[in-house]
Amino acid sequence: MTVSRLEHSAIRRWEHILSGCTAMSYLAAGNTAHPTVLLLHGFPNSSEMFREVITELEPIARVIAPDLPGFGHSEPLATASFDRFGKAVAELLDALHVGPRFIYLHDFGAPAALHVAMAEPDQVLGLIIQNANAHTTGLGPGWAETIRYWADPTRANEAAATAHLTREGIRAQYTDGVPPDVAARVPAERWEEDWRVMNLPGRLETQRALIADYGAYVLRFPEIADYLARREPPALMIWGRHDAFFDLDETVSWMRMLPRMEAHVLDAGHLLLETHSSRAAPLIRSFVERSTTTTSP
């Protein structure tokens, strides 16, 4: 494992070389004597989306926020899939000697998060669910072209399913369906940086591979439902109600599956933390504090 320091405060950026010789970057903060919170981002973001959450959690938790392969500062894998993402995150946790952990599920990070959770269920202290899909109820009308592509992976269907991989498509992740006054709070630099990174070598190939592989993740929904029903992990849901990509019915599916889950629906979009970190971060901290006995450093 090689390391490199980041920029500010108690948060540091490090780099782990995976077994396949791919460099995986991650942010880390906090004390190893505290419970770990694993923060997994989605499309088209990186660990930077957690900047305010990490600051909030750092006094009471060990925080690890990787850039998934092909996102942020992490190199792409030779072949991208959510199974390989889950294995990469698990390898990082092993290298850092991480034991019990809370796991943050969001968007494309959810398949990797659930891979980690289901591989070592006894190590899961709780799940933090933020606009993360694990039921077919979340796949609204906007998924029709992608579902068609999974069933019939022709060149034309692939082009339709990947049509959002443009600068405007990246911007839409932040603004589509979001009330104008909320969307106005998101600096353009956020999606401009995502688009810059996506144009680096191997990154668009990663995105196309993941869009195709998400169909395999959907086929795992019954297995995931069985895990949730059997284990009933403590859970906190923080959901942006104006999500243009995951249907709001998904929130009800999560609450039915985890009836003891604490749930908050906020006036935000798919990328809730871009506008509502000040609301979400204290909720996450409170959940972590209530769910574990923190060991003093």
Domains of the chain: 2-291 (3.40.50.1820)
Per-residue b/e over 137-148, b at no fewer than 16 CB within 10 Å? bbbeeebeebbe
Average pLDDT over residues 51-74: 97
Express each pLDDT in 204-257 by its tens digit.
999 999 999 999 999 999 999 999 999 999 999 999 999 999 999 999 999 999
Q: Are 68 and 74 in contact (CB under 8 A)?
A: yes
pTM score, two decimals? Answer: 0.94
Q: Do β-strands 62-66 and 23-29 pair in parallel, antiparallel, or remain unpaired?
A: antiparallel
